[in-house]
A and B are shown apart, each in its own frame.
Chain A
Amino acid sequence: MSSLTVDEAPQAASHVHYLNVKFGVKSWLFTTDHKRIALLYLASITFFFFVGGAAAVLMRLHLLTPGGLLVEPATYNKLFTVHGILMVFFFLIPAIPAVLGNFLVPMMIGARDLAFPKLNLLSWYVYILGGLFTLYAVVAGGVDTGWTFYTPYSSTYSNSHVIAAALGIFITGFSSILTGLNFIVTIHKMRAPGLTWFRLPLFIWAIYATSIIFILGTPVLAITIVLVALERLFHIGVFDPALGGDPILFQHMFWFYSHPAVYIMILPGMGVESELITCFSRKKIFGYKFVAMSSLGIALLGFLVWGHHMFVSGQSMYAGMVFSILSYLVAVPSAVKVFNWTATLYKGSISYDAPMLYALGFIGLFTMGGVTGMFLASLGVNVHVHDTYFVIAHFHYIMVGGMVMAYLGGIHFWWPKISGRMYPQGWARFAALVIFVGFNLTFFPQYILGFLGMPRRYAVYPAEFQVLNVMSSAGASILGVGYLIPLIYFIWSMRYGPVASANPWNAKGLEWQTPSPPPTENFEEIPVVTEEAYDYPVREAQVA
């Protein structure tokens, strides 16, 4: 039976909460309430997600025929650059931390708000400012360097709007830094009485680990971008070999951030996953401490493997070997998580509500992405499939199959808390299924394409690759529809959805002990924590 309980009484949501305490545009644009800021982020990252998605749709349309259907090759370069920049910096990186993290961190630890509410609002404005610069670069004529901005092409030769886009990313980076700083201080200093570190929800551990990467990684990207921009403006030769500079140094500095950034993009998803799996198995998580520590392990080891992006860039063979071995090592904590989630499912009383469907999809797709990551970490295989669609498929299985699934699962899980309304379960399950099918149809063929040798970032391809490319494009159209369905029913539910109770999933965790939607200060009274996380009743008791 479903664990869903819907409170139909209309007076249930008539209490004063963060949504109805004030109205009007000003009350939103000047809010310091972490829950409202989370919604500002939700709206803006959804916008960027669909703009980035539109670029992907155009690319997949273009690749329907070997000669290219739609655009000039130069425009194609701009499409994949825009897609990459928007999806990485304006969707994936802020998605779970800035939306769900902002909404949940204070509530999960029993605090009234984050430590620095004004800084939190500032981070949203910084994000928007960075977004405007990037959109300007797109509208003014685009950028063609790829999201990686490799020098000396980006710093010297490209004729596109590199500086505006780079500035956009630089600025947005500070929004990540502020968010990470806020989370670290809040988690350290503002936990409710009795909420010790090892009683924290695993989502908090994941967000904490992510914040460490925000803090240590993002500034390196910032200075790297500054150097590229300065070189482009003044021709000073930091990365330009013609002037004595070293383009490989750029790659080291870029990947020193951008590999850990991969974990910024997946760790929060893993945190959501831990919450969903326990709740819908009605079982305590298997190996709490291992799951918690593996988040920190991933954050720290993640800083030591950047060189696996540079196996064919001309770094020394010995460096390549070390980076290869370390890349295998970083898979261990990820595997710990997957095995512990699976062990949690074992003998749980599993219910297949919509959030759980996303969570189960995550496990499968993330595992496939992770295992193909192992292929790529081994030197010999990497050289064979380097810069092919195999790589594209690999990281889309992690980023889209993993992170976007977890993000959607999380939104479906906490939507009753966020909006105070339920969404139609049938449609939500249907959408999860459509997304799963569409995703695999889009990206599985790309593994094969890459293995057969189709390189990434080309506007044309040999005729024998057409069947697989058409499959991929067909899948993309299904995937696109799959993403639109939740957009529609979430908007619908805000007005017409049945009123949600305080704890519709019967979940553990402090955020479910306060009304839906929560009052501005989250709790009537700061709760005192006396039990471990996920203290679900043992199964025997439930069955009887």
Chain B
Amino acid sequence: MPEELAATAHQFEDLAQQHEADELGMWVFLGTEVMFFGGLFLGYTVYRHVYFGAFEAGSHLLDLLLGAVNTSVLIASSFTMALSVYAAQKGRKKTLITCLILTMILGSVFLGIKGVEYGQKFHHHLVPGYDFNPEGNFPAHMSLYFSFYFIMTGMHALHMIVGEGLLLVVLILAAKNRFTAAHHATVEVVGIYWHFVDIIWIFLFPLLYLIGGR
């Protein structure tokens, strides 16, 4: 299998070892991501505990419908991502490319809706540090809730944008016939990343949108 040997980087013995290393590398990286977001979740938990009323009031100012739509969009993108990996394993190039494009579109839809939501917050003067002046009575320290809302969803969106970039790279490689049924670790690794970013949102949605029931 000469083409297989060509794909193995010089530091590895064979392709199998390289694949294992790539996947372990991504899992270890996701370990760092868990700790990174963990710091944010810690801060969120502390202030939600101290200022529960303010967090509840802030949560009710979010657009639940857009949040729910976005959650389904993201879950759908996870599904198409899983299909991409499956197609790569079977060596079906056309399906792989279609599913990758679908995943990218769904990711962009998510980011677009998120952008609309951010726009609403600016419109309603709900942006701490820039323009925080909500209408009517609001509990003290509600700005803390919105600080965390923006930081947490912003960090998540940043990871989505990185994910879109990675998908683009995979798409180009797929179009160039770089993947075979035996050699597709890149697709798998990017897939793991994409699912992880989705899972972060699965935690963010209830924590930010559903405080105290709606």
Q: Does A379 contact B (CB under 8 A)?
A: no
Q: Which residues of A contact B42 (CB under 8 A)?
A: 249, 253
Query: Of A106, A184, A189, A234, which is in contact with the most chain B CB atoms at under 10 Å from its CB?
Result: A189
Which single member of B28, B29, B39, B144 contacts A223 (CB below 8 Å)?
B39
Q: Which residues of A contact B151 (CB under 8 A)?
A: 226-227, 230
Complex Cα gap A192–B159 (Å): 36
Q: A113-B11, A115-B11 are in contact. Are A238 and B39 (CB under 8 A)?
A: no
Interface size on B, residues (CB 8 A): 36
Complex Cα gap A275–B123 (Å): 64
Interface contact B11-A114, CB-CB below 8 Å:
yes
Interface contact B36-A223, CB-CB below 8 Å:
yes
Least Cβ–Cβ distance between B154 and chain A, in angstroms: 9
Interface contact A115-B43, CB-CB below 8 Å:
no
Interface contact B36-A220, CB-CB below 8 Å:
yes
Q: Which residues of B contact A215 (CB under 8 A)?
A: 28, 31-32, 35
Q: Does B141 contact A (CB under 8 A)?
A: yes
**Interface residue range, chain A:** 35 or more
Q: A113-B10, A215-B31 are in contact. Are A236 and B143 (CB under 8 A)?
A: yes
Interface contact A238-B43, CB-CB below 8 Å:
yes
Per-position 1/0 for A189-214, Cβ under 8 A of B: 11000000000000000000000000
Which partner residue on chain A sits nearest B37 by CB separation?
A223
Interface stretch, picked from A239-247, A317-325, A416-424, A433-441, is A239-247
Complex Cα gap A117–B51 (Å): 48
Interface contact B144-A243, CB-CB below 8 Å:
yes
Interface contact A190-B11, CB-CB below 8 Å:
yes
Interface contact B36-A244, CB-CB below 8 Å:
no
Complex Cα gap A185–B10 (Å): 16
Q: Does B24 contact A (CB under 8 A)?
A: yes
Per-position 1/0 for B11-26, Cβ under 8 A of A: 1110001001100110
Which partner residue on chain A sits nearest B32 by CB separation?
A219
Q: Which residues of B contact A186 (CB under 8 A)?
A: 21
Q: A113-B11, A189-B21, A253-B42 are in contact. Are A244 and B130 (CB under 8 A)?
A: no
Interface contact A185-B24, CB-CB below 8 Å:
yes
Interface contact B144-A238, CB-CB below 8 Å:
yes
Q: Which residues of B contact A238 (CB under 8 A)?
A: 43, 144, 147
Q: Which residues of B contact A246 (CB under 8 A)?
A: 46-47, 50
Which single member of A113, A115, A117, A217 contacts B35 (CB below 8 Å)?
A217
Q: A112-B11, A177-B32, A220-B38 are in contact. Are A237 and B143 (CB under 8 A)?
A: yes
Q: Which residues of A contact B31 (CB under 8 A)?
A: 215-216
Which partner residue on chain B sits nearest A522 by CB separation?
B11
Which single member of A111, A182, A184, A234 contacts B128 (CB below 8 Å)?
A234
Interface contact A253-B35, CB-CB below 8 Å:
no
Q: Does B2 contact A (CB under 8 A)?
A: no
Complex Cα gap A455–B103 (Å): 59
Least Cβ–Cβ distance between B42 and chain A, in angstroms: 7
Q: List 29 A-B contacts (CB under 8 A).
A: A112-B11, A115-B12, A117-B9, A181-B28, A181-B32, A182-B25, A185-B25, A189-B24, A215-B35, A216-B32, A216-B35, A217-B35, A219-B33, A219-B35, A219-B38, A220-B38, A227-B43, A230-B151, A234-B128, A236-B129, A236-B143, A236-B144, A236-B147, A238-B43, A238-B147, A244-B47, A246-B50, A249-B43, A526-B13
Q: Which residues of A contact B (CB under 8 A)?
A: 106, 111-117, 177, 181-182, 184-186, 188-190, 215-220, 222-224, 226-227, 230, 233-238, 243-246, 249, 253, 521, 526
Q: Which residues of B contact A (CB under 8 A)?
A: 9-13, 17, 20-21, 24-25, 28-29, 31-33, 35-40, 42-43, 46-47, 50-51, 128-130, 140-141, 143-144, 147, 151
- Other than the known A112-B11, A189-B17, A245-B47, what 6 A-B pairs have Cβ atoms closer than 8 Å? A190-B11, A215-B32, A220-B36, A230-B151, A244-B51, A249-B46
